[in-house]
Amino acid sequence: MPNDLGTKNAIIIGAGIAGLAAAIRLQLQGFIVNVYEQNSYPGGKLSDFKLGEYSFDAGPSLFTQPENIVELFDLAGENIQEYFSYIQMPVSCNYFYDDGTVVNAYSDNIALANELQLKLNEPAKNTLQFLQQSAALYNNIGTLFLTNSLHKISTLFNRAIIKAIQHTRFKFLFQSMNRLHEKQFQSAKTVQLFNRYATYNGSNPFKAPAMLTMIPHLEHNLGSFYPKGGMISITNALYRLALKKGVLFNFNKKVNNIIHKSNKVIGVIVDQENLYADLVVSNMDVYFTYKYLLNNQRLAQKVLKQERSSSAYIFYWGIKKTFSQLSLHNIFFTKDYLTEFNHLFNTGKCFTDPTVYINITAKCEPGIQAPEGKENWFVMVNAPANNGQNWDEYGAQYKKAILDKLSKLLGENIQHLIEEEQVLTPITIEQKTASYMGALYGTSSNSKMAAFMRHPNFNNQLKGLYFVGGSVHPGGGIPLCLNSAKIMADIVQKDFKK
């Protein structure tokens, strides 16, 4: 209950990256913040584990826009260097095509343009014009919609929205990413490279609006980074900051229900105990929040009207060799991207020539993330959201396809090099992170209205209920999850001033 001095209490459900950021922001606003997490550790998808002598980040592996984290430490008046450090990567990703072509996708836009001209015969001017357009999209439109609520009338009166509307063109809303790329580039390989960015929010480049072509700006104009200690260091830094500021964490504590009365949230139930608060923030998937915590089947079903994002099938492999041709991020493309996405979003079946992503943190910290002379491979293929498929059968098919592709393109029998293995499926993603159907990003962005259809960071019918994380506005991925916490905190601050 609120204390006698008038201090307000906040309860946050889930200690994922958005929950941690939300806890810090509300604590700094003067709330007494309690976080309840069903797992024994913070971070949600952004966690880690060890297999023998190998260390693995369990989930997200790409780090962009470090300024979002710097902002939290500046807001808290803390020196980030005491908690967290990172380096900029000269190469964003290595791309391997089925015919043996290899492209080093440099973070520097000029170097990237020259590489694509050399390797793919793509005129450098095409790449530079595209990245200039990507930057303009992000700066004039993206920043407004990704850092403000789209569900508050006040946003409509933001002067920046006039500027955003002026920069919105028909081609960005009413044609697909793939169609824009086909018009922009002359090489099919270049089109495939930039189509990949749709997967950054679990979408289909053949359906998602060209507005998503702002995403490459983050890597090739602003740069990609590596956090020292791996991605888990982001979780550890925010968790330490939250503790320093007085946030209270309750692990192995599953919230059973959200208590509400007279259209107002008044707390939660944990272990059959009523815990009262002035506001509740759910970092749980919004579908599960309505279905299980509020027992509201109608609102839960309403959420399902939006298409789920893709999921993933992940192999964590300890590899007893190093590969000089691989870097931190590596992509091995399918020969048939269109069919792969058809399987992901239409048939829901396993595709036997999937695009393969490999993340190797040992490239940045050899001897620490993996033993000397060995590498820790985070091997992921995009998979359909879970709808009751036979994942044991699909897993065997994915593994064979991955091993065949990698052995061919790397000229080595990869199967013989695996000395540690663990697997993460869409089912276990849902179980561990409360992501409905194992969808990594909640809903897809395959519709031109997807950004406006994402669930808001608040509930109009239940005062005091707020939402953060990948299943609500502005979407999934580390930068957007951190943005969701900022948007929520700004709304709370205005609500409680009233």
Tens place of pLDDT per residue across the chain (498 aa): 344 346 899 999 999 999 999 999 999 999 999 999 999 999 999 999 999 999 999 999 999 999 999 999 999 999 999 999 999 999 999 999 999 999 999 999 999 999 999 999 999 999 999 999 999 999 988 887 888 777 666 655 566 555 655 555 556 777 999 999 999 999 999 999 999 999 998 999 999 999 999 999 999 999 999 999 999 999 999 999 999 999 999 999 999 999 999 999 999 999 999 999 999 999 999 999 999 999 999 999 888 888 889 999 999 999 999 999 999 999 999 999 999 999 999 999 999 999 999 999 999 999 999 999 999 999 999 999 999 999 999 999 999 999 999 999 999 999 999 999 999 999 999 998 888 999 998 888 777 655 567 899 999 999 999 999 999 999 889 999 999 999 999 999 999 986
- CB atoms under 10 Å from CB of 387, counted, come to 11
Place of tokens 């279905």: 291
Cα 6–chain centre separation: 37
CA distance 268 to 259: 5
- pLDDT at position 443 is 81
- Using only the alpha carbons of the chain, give its radius of gyration: 22
Q: Classify residue 315 by its DSSP letter.
A: E
* pTM score above 0.85: yes
The answer to whether the beta carbons of residues 137 and 217 sit under 8 Å apart is: yes
Residue 34's pLDDT is: 98
| Rounded distance between C-alpha atoms, residue 232 and residue 237, angstroms | 9
> d(Cα 145, Cα 168) in Å, to the nearest integer?
12
- Token digits for 2? 């609120």
Residue 153's pLDDT is 61
CB-hemisphere CA count at 13 Å for 119? Answer: 22
Tell me which residue has tokens 């930057």.
Answer: 135
Q: Name the residue type at position 23.
A: A
Residue 422 DSSP symbol: E
Residue 454 confidence (pLDDT): 84
pLDDT at position 323 is: 98
